[in-house]
């Protein structure tokens, strides 16, 4: 039912194939974020049409609303949402630490108040597993403690050690063989803590490993240093997932260090805010110079938005506060990400990953089509 | 280039065919409202896929933002929005009287302040025609004065007389033979004023006539009385448009009195608010009894939403404030309206309009699927 194979390499970058009970994910893969069981502003058909192979959903949000037991009754995330391709759920740890106030952390778990109605809930390794088994995603995550950034080293040290203990308890509590449970390497920006975390988690022989606690405000150099340090440590034959990352630049950095899976709210959130990623640079649709621009947002893009919409029309819809603007720009940004990942994979297979990386990052750093004639 | 033909009748109801430079509109037709050049929450493809044959856009909103001259430079409404089927624009009169404060009305026209930024603008018959020629819709409307309801009879009388004078000036100022200019019958709930308005406007021999100033708060009996009174007066061989109406019940009333065209924000606005029209009654998706309901919103509907979404999932998306909920419910409600109008037309052709009307209104009055088992 399950397998992961690396099919090609270019330097440390790898093109892989993750086979799940709900279909294949070609890696490196970007996973659109469907926080509440939907990618904000999109229909399932739009997400399918752009070729998304896996979707992420948030345990924290779904356990609070509409409730994981309700979702289980309605056929799990697949039955509930109708998305028939693979799902990944996070553990809830990151949201509990970033979204909720008034939380109490003990070795047992975290007691917190819902950001929706203030009601009290507990997340622990056992509870996170129960919820994620109810949700029924293909890939699920061990419950971890994600320390804030910056934090004193001793805080990160203790969170990292607890993450290992919680990973053991997660593994013991997990009882669905149709799901793969990934461990999460913590350790902040401290390379020795990262290494200890990776080595401890590898003893559990989990089917995949994630790098958590990055893209939380640390300098880019720290992100790159952690990835460089972990790359030779993590198992070569298992999938590697860099959580919550990131910009296209970050994703190229991750791929270059052997990362296979990514997720980030950036393309969807920026889309709703009128910030577009294009082959001619980053583009803010609010800019007045687009008011009479009949060109598509990205002349090199084949997505529905770029096939059907001018910059002028898109700017008008955005300025008028039309929901359709959020739909169209979310659609383009996700198409840009998915297309970029597909092309990354092709160029790994062709052993031309570095050339493609330079070329793409150059185009993305272009002055947002400013210099081009109208 | 242009024609209108009545192809079948059932009682006073008629099945017609309006041929425009941008395609055919089979009547009776419902025109989705694309206020700012987009049907709120939908993409053009979604509107095309559900078989909408004509779209309405608002002169008032578009002249203020993004500006009619800009739209003209970008190819008119068709070029600007990419919608290649027919458009109808209203005259701006209704919005000026309902949306703006601080307006000054003279025989020349209306001076008003934009609801967007308070800037001062003028709409007159000549200016409305200039704007509508810039927008380039297929069907455009004469500039009218829409009195509030209730209003003293003398106020309605004067507004009605002015509407005739403004219709003459609209006709004189209109200079695009690829557009059809419709007149608007006013007169409030006063049958003699309605009759005078219709007779005066018919002297202009315009290619179509609208009934304006209804569905503004008057009792349903008044709406029906006006339609009954105007039916034998309006030309048999020209299209008739009932502006801003309405509920499915209202639309059946209109069709039964020979109306060919309708528009209303009800399906789109209600969709965004979680109010659905279905073959098993009106349904408020917020209702807690839908939280575990795996059935589609409307079991008899073939729209994308009903093919892909359960009531439970739709309720969850709505309660979570997800944009996608607005998309899916707008899509269903418009599909319901368009499908109902298509079936009305079929049943006119089959001379079974009254039976279909009774059957549909009975289903719509059902207790919103409340009695059905889960």
Instruction: Please answer whether residues B110 and B76 qualify as being in contact, where contact means their C-beta atoms are separated by less than 8 angstroms.
Output: no
Mutant choice from A268, A273, A313, A329 vs B, greatest count of B C-beta within 10 A: A313
Distance, CA of B314 to chain centre: 27
Does B316 sit within 8 Å of A65, measured CB to CB?
A: yes
Cα A109 to Cα B154: distance, rounded to the nearest angstrom? 75
Whole-number Cα distances in Å, B168 to B86, B142, B172, B181, B233: 25, 9, 6, 11, 19
Give the number of beta-carbon pairs within 8 Å between A and B.
Answer: 116
Task: Give the residue numbers of B annotated as catalytic, written as ranges.
Answer: 90, 263
- For residue B246, give the nearest of B221, B216, B272, B274 by alpha carbon: B216
Query: Scanning the structure block, which residue is given the tokens 């007066």?
Result: B233
CB spacing of B41 vs A291 below 8 angstroms: no
Cβ atoms within 10 Å of B68's Cβ, excluding its own: 22
A42: left (phi over 0), alpha (psi -120 to 50) or beta: beta
A70: which DSSP letter? H
**Out of B294, B309, B320, closest to residue A65 by CB:** B320
**Chain B residues 149-188 with a CB less than 8 Å from chain A:** none
CA distance B356 to chain A (A): 33
| A320 lies within 8 A of chain B by CB | yes
3-state secondary structure of A209: strand
Helix (H) or strand (E) holding B316: helix B311-319
CA nearest neighbour of B82 among A309, A305, A302, A299: A309
Inter-CA distances, B103 with A226, A244, B23, B120, B162, Å: 65, 53, 38, 9, 16
* CA–CA min distance B313, chain A (Å): 6
Looking at CA atoms only, how far is residue A308 from chain B in angstroms?
7
Q: Show Cβ contacts of residue A314 under 8 Å, excluding neighbours closer than 6 positions.
A: A285, A290, A297, A305, A325, A328, A329
**In terms of C-beta distances under 8 Å and separation of at least 24 residues, what long-range contacts does B284-290 make, across chains too?**
B284/B368, B285/B311, B285/B314, B285/B315, B285/B318, B285/B325, B285/B329, B286/B315, B286/B318, B286/B319, B287/B315, B287/B368, B289/B370, B290/B314, B290/B315
Helix locations, B185-281, DSSP H: 191-202, 220-230, 248-256, 266-272
Give the span between the Cα atoms of A18 and A245, in whole angstroms: 20
DSSP sequence for B132-171: HHHHT-SEEE-------SS--HHHHHHHHHHHHHHHHHHH
Contact B45 A292 (CB under 8 A): no
* Closest partner CB to A319 (pick from B38, B65, B291): B65
d(CA A32, CA A59): 15
Q: In this structure, what token pair is assigned to residue A174?
A: 């997990």
Residue A346: per-residue pLDDT: 98
**Degrees to nearest 5, angle at CA B92 with B88 and B97:** 140
Helix axes A153-173, A191-202, angle to 10 degrees: 10
Residue A180 β-bridge partners = A139
B82–A contact, CB cutoff 8 A: yes
* A363 near B CB under 8 A: no
A326 close contact with B: CB closer than 8 A: yes
pLDDT in tens, B128-149: 999 999 999 999 999 999 998 9
Whether A220 contacts chain B with CB within 8 A: no
| pLDDT of res. A100 | 74
The pairing of beta strand A180-185 with beta strand A208-211: parallel
| Backbone torsions φ then ψ of B200, nearest 5 degrees | -65, -45
Which tens digits make up the pLDDT trace of A46-77? 999 999 999 999 999 999 999 999 999 999 99
From CA A66, how far away is CA B291, in angstroms rounded?
Answer: 8
**In which element (H, E) is residue A211 found?**
strand A208-211
How close A116 comes to chain B (CA, Å)? 10
What's the angle, vertex CA B331, arms to CA A323 and CA B67, rounded to 5?
Answer: 40
User: In this model, does residue B373 exceed pLDDT 70?
Assistant: no
Provide DSSP, A28-46: SEEE-B-TTSS-TT--HHH
Burial degree of B32 (CB within 10 A; 0-12, 13-18, 19+): buried
Q: Do B324 and A73 touch (CB under 8 A)?
A: no
Decide if A306 touches B, using CB distance below 8 A: no
Inter-chain residue contact B36 with A309, CB threshold 8 Å: no
Residue contact B308–A44, C-beta within 8 A? yes
Q: Which residue of B has its CA nearest to A293?
A: B74
B320·A294 Cβ contact <8 A: no
Q: What is the mean pLDDT of chain B?
A: 96
In this prediction, residue A369 carries a pLDDT of: 54
The residue of chain B nearest to residue A39, with distances taken between CA atoms, is: B324
Query: What is the spatial distance between Cα A267 and Cα A246, in angstroms, rounded to a whole number?
Result: 9
Cα A244–Cα A47–Cα A303 angle in degrees, nearest 5: 100
User: Is A310–B70 a contact, with Cβ atoms under 8 angstroms apart?
Assistant: no
pLDDT at B100 over 90: no
The pLDDT, as a whole number, for residue A69 is 98
* Shortest CA distance from A78: residue in chain B: B313
CA distance A303 to chain B (A): 13
pLDDT at B372: 46
Rg of chain A taking only CA atoms, in angstroms: 20
CB nearest to B309's CB, from A73, A82, A317: A82
Q: B98 in helix, strand or coil?
A: helix
Q: What does each of the 374 residues of chain A score in pLDDT, given as a tens digit?
A: 899 999 999 999 999 999 999 999 999 999 999 999 999 999 999 999 999 999 999 999 999 999 999 999 999 999 999 999 999 999 999 999 888 777 899 999 999 999 999 999 999 999 999 999 999 999 999 999 999 899 999 999 999 999 999 999 999 999 999 999 999 999 999 999 999 999 999 999 999 999 999 999 999 999 999 999 999 999 999 999 999 999 999 999 999 999 999 999 999 999 999 999 999 999 999 999 999 999 999 999 999 999 999 999 999 999 999 999 999 999 999 999 999 999 999 999 999 999 999 999 999 998 765 544 33
Q: What is the mean pLDDT of residues B61-68?
A: 98
Average pLDDT estimate for B320-342: 98
Beta-carbon separation of A65 and B328 below 8 A: no
CB distance from B100 to chain A under 8 Å? no
Partners of B32 in beta bridges: none
Task: State residue B369's pLDDT score.
Answer: 54
Residue positions of A annotated with a catalytic role: 90, 263
Q: Do B66 and A291 touch (CB under 8 A)?
A: yes
Angstroms from A114 CA to nearest CA on chain B? 14
- Å between B149 CA and nearest CA of chain A: 29
Verify whether the Cβ–Cβ distance A38 to B66 is below 8 Å: no
d(CA B294, CA B315): 11
Q: Please give the helix or strand (H or E) that residue B341 lies within, else none.
A: helix B323-349
CB contact under 8 A, B36 and A74: no
Closest CA to A44 of A59, A29, A55: A55
- Beta strand residue intervals within chain B, DSSP E: 3-10, 13-20, 23-27, 29-31, 55-57, 87-89, 104-105, 110-113, 120-123, 139-141, 180-185, 208-211, 240-242, 261-263, 275-278, 281-284
Cα separations (Å) of A347 from A310, A338, A342, B176? 30, 14, 9, 55
User: What is the rounded CA–CA span in Å between residue A294 and residue B79?
Assistant: 9
Under the phi-then-psi rule, with left for phi > 0, alpha for psi from -120 to 50, and beta for the rest, what region is A82?
A: left
pLDDT band of B374, cuts 50, 70, 90: very low
Residues 6+ apart with CB under 8 A from A363: A279, A280, A281
B251 and B243 in contact (C-beta within 8 Å)?
Answer: no
Q: Which residues make beta-bridge pairs with A5?
A: A17
């Amino acid at each position: 039912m399950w397998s992961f194979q690396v099919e090609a390499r270019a330097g440390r970058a790898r093109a892989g194939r993750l086979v799940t009970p709900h279909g294949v994910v070609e890696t490196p893969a970007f996973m659109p974020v469907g926080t509440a069981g939907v990618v904000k502003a999109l229909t399932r058909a739009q997400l399918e049409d752009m070729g998304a192979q896996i979707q992420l959903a948030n345990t924290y949000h779904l356990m609070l609303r509409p409730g994981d037991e309700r979702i289980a009754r309605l056929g799990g995330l697949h039955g509930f949402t109708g998305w028939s391709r693979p799902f990944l759920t996070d553990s809830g740890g990151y949201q509990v630490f970033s979204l909720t106030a008034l939380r109490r952390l003990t070795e047992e778990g975290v007691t917190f108040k819902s950001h929706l109605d203030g009601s009290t809930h507990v997340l622990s390794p056992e509870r996170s597993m129960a919820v994620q088994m109810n949700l029924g995603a293909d890939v699920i995550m061990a419950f971890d403690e994600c320390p804030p950034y910056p934090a004193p080293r001793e805080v990160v040290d203790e969170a990292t050690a607890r993450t290992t203990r919680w990973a053991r308890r997660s593994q013991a509590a997990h009882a669905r063989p149709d799901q793969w449970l990934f461990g999460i390497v913590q350790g902040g920006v401290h390379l020795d803590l990262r290494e200890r975390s990776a080595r401890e988690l590898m003893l559990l022989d989990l089917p995949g490993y994630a790098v958590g606690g990055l893209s939380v405000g640390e300098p880019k150099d720290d992100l790159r240093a952690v990835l460089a340090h972990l790359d030779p440590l993590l198992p070569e034959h298992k999938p590697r997932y860099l959580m919550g990352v990131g910009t296209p630049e970050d994703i190229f950095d991750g791929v270059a260090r052997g990362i296979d899976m990514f997720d980030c709210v950036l393309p969807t959130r920026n889309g709703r805010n009128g910030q577009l990623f294009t082959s001619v640079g980053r583009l803010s649709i609010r800019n007045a110079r687009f008011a009479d621009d009949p060109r598509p947002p990205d002349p090199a893009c084949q997505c529905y938005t770029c096939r059907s919409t001018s910059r002028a029309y898109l700017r008008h819809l955005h300025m008028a506060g039309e929901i359709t603007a959020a739909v169209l720009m979310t659609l383009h940004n996700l198409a840009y990400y998915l297309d970029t990942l597909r092309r990354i994979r092709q160029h790994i297979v062709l052993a031309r990953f570095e050339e493609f990386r330079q070329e793409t990052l150059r185009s993305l750093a272009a002055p947002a089509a400013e210099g081009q004639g109208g």
